[in-house]
Structure 1
Amino acid sequence: MGKKAALLIDGGALRALCKQNGRLIDDPNYIEKVALACFDSAEEDVFRIFYYDCAPYSGELKLPVSRTSKVFKGNDSWQHQLAQKNFFALRRGRLKFVDWDLKAPMAPGKTPSDADYSPKFQQKGVDMRIGLDMATLAAKGGVERVILLTADTDFIPALKLVRTEGLQVVAVNLPGTRFNLEFLEHVDIKRPVAWPP
């Protein structure tokens, strides 16, 4: 019997890595393959796979140039499909509209149009949920290892707590992951993981 391990996936971080590596982004079957590849089946048993993300934005926004209203209808059906997979627990934050960003620098003399802008959103509540689940796993003692698919230094206090409580921390190193040295100081194992086919 192997060590009980919980995997915590920052969906935003995984999506960014998938995009830069030409991988499927919102496919629950592919996300499941990536998640299972993060475990060392020779020495770990899956306790749970926590997936943290926000539902796509739904709401009405005023376009930046014309000031006309546009309705955004996000489709989160893939997240519901993911939550139904074995061992998965979906934890959702929310997206907040921040501003409109220019897609590319404007040519001199060009009149801007709505098409030149894309909406900028910010995740709310995702990091907090990851930190709380790490603290809960450390306090309840149901696992021996916490595997993280993120490189966010905001989690350093939670990493310290998890290790202080006797759990081992594994950082998943998918191609394209960039770790801050300070983050790695609070990790027991840096695990290279290849993209599944």
Structure 2
Amino acid sequence: MEKHEVTTAILVDGGFYRRRAYYFCGEKTPKERACELYDYCIHLLHNKNEYRNLYRIFYYDCPPIEKNVFNPITRKNIDLGKSDEYKWVTEFFQELKNKRKVALRMGRLSENTLCYNLKYESFKKLLNGTMKIADLSSSDLKLNIEQKGVDMRIGIDISSLAYKRQVQQIILISGDSDFVPAAKQARREGIDFILAPMGATIKSDLFEHIDGLINRGIKADSENL
């Protein structure tokens, strides 16, 4: 059977990808993580039944925040703009910008909800008496940061790619069900919509809103499609 050609756009939910990549491969330098992401996307184009020609890789995330935030344990203000995380993310985005056919779509981090929260496990220990308030340390805290505009940009680009007939196929790297309305719209326009949740478990009812599934981790050798 002769293979047919399709033009494919790959959309990457950046926060989701980085969490799953850390789960599979642990910490990496910004350059290593950027190369890993790019190689993973390119490998998604390999298919025994069709030639997938890359249109573009769209990466969605938020730039790091530079605001000061009060740490209730140390009782000091932390300058997030001088943190290792800020430096890593900034370099990571720059590495992605240097990759061929990669476009970054940036949302923003909400400053209104920026604060340190007690981790759930630490909260449970306080309630069951296995930990006292005096025992708390900075490791028991988690920085609460909410993304704004990322899901909206993913939805807009899915709709735009579909209506303008720029591609015949969209591969979305995500595990979120928020994409369903945009996926349904794209499928009505004739787009072959494929979800790549990187080995994460997805809800069973999502299968009715996609045309295919590539569900493997970074180190897997074959795709389930």
Structure 1: 5+ residue runs without aligned partners? Answer: none
Q: Which residue of structure 1 aligns with residue 147 of structure 2?
A: 123
| Runs of 4+, deviation exceeding 6 Å | none
- 2:7 paired with 1:4: yes
Q: Which residue of structure 1 aligns with residue 198 of structure 2?
A: 174
Q: Per-residue CA shift, 1:5-58, capped at 9, x if unaligned? A: 100000111112112223456421111111111213552100010011112232
Q: Which residue of structure 1 aligns with residue 179 of structure 2?
A: 155
Q: Which residue of structure 2 aligns with residue 95 of structure 1?
A: 109
Q: Which residue of structure 2 aligns with residue 85 of structure 1?
A: 99
Does the residue aligned with 1:56 lie in a helix, a strand or coil? coil
1:47 to 42, 55, 65: 55
TM-score by length of 2: 0.79
Question: Considering only CA atoms, is the larger Rg found in Structure 1 or Structure 2?
Answer: 2
Q: Which residue of structure 1 aligns with residue 218 of structure 2?
A: 195
Q: Which residue of structure 2 aligns with residue 21 of structure 1?
A: 24
Q: Per-residue CA shift, 1:153-186, capped at 9, x if unaligned? A: 11111001100111110111423x1111222211
1:91 Cα shift?
A: 0.7
Q: CA RMSD in A?
A: 2.1
Amino acid across the alignment from 1:32: Y
Greater share of helix residues, 1 or 2? 2
- 2:83 paired with 1:60: no
Q: Distance in 2 between matches of 1:46 and 1:2?
A: 11
Counterpart contact for 1:11–1:52, Cα < 8 Å: yes
Greater share of strand residues, 1 or 2? 1
Counterpart contact for 2:55–2:101, Cα < 8 Å: yes
Q: Distance in 1 between matches of 2:217 and 2:117?
A: 33
Does the residue aligned with 2:145 lie in a helix, a strand or coil? strand
Q: Distance in 2 between matches of 1:54 and 1:93?
A: 5
Counterpart contact for 1:7–1:50, Cα < 8 Å: yes
Q: Which residue of structure 1 aligns with residue 44 of structure 2?
A: 38
Q: Distance in 2 between matches of 1:181 and 1:10?
A: 20
Q: Distance in 2 between matches of 1:147 and 1:115?
A: 37
Q: Per-residue CA shift, 1:110-138, capped at 9, x if unaligned? A: 41444532211111111000000001001
Does the residue aligned with 1:169 lie in a helix, a strand or coil? strand
Amino acid across the alignment from 1:195: I
Q: Say which is worse superposed, 60-69 or 103-112, in terms of deviation.
A: 103-112
1:109 Cα shift?
A: 3.2
Amino acid across the alignment from 1:131: G
Q: Which residue of structure 1 aligns with residue 223 of structure 2?
A: none
Give the 3 Å change call, closer, same or farther, for CA 149–109 of structure 1 in structure 2.
Answer: closer
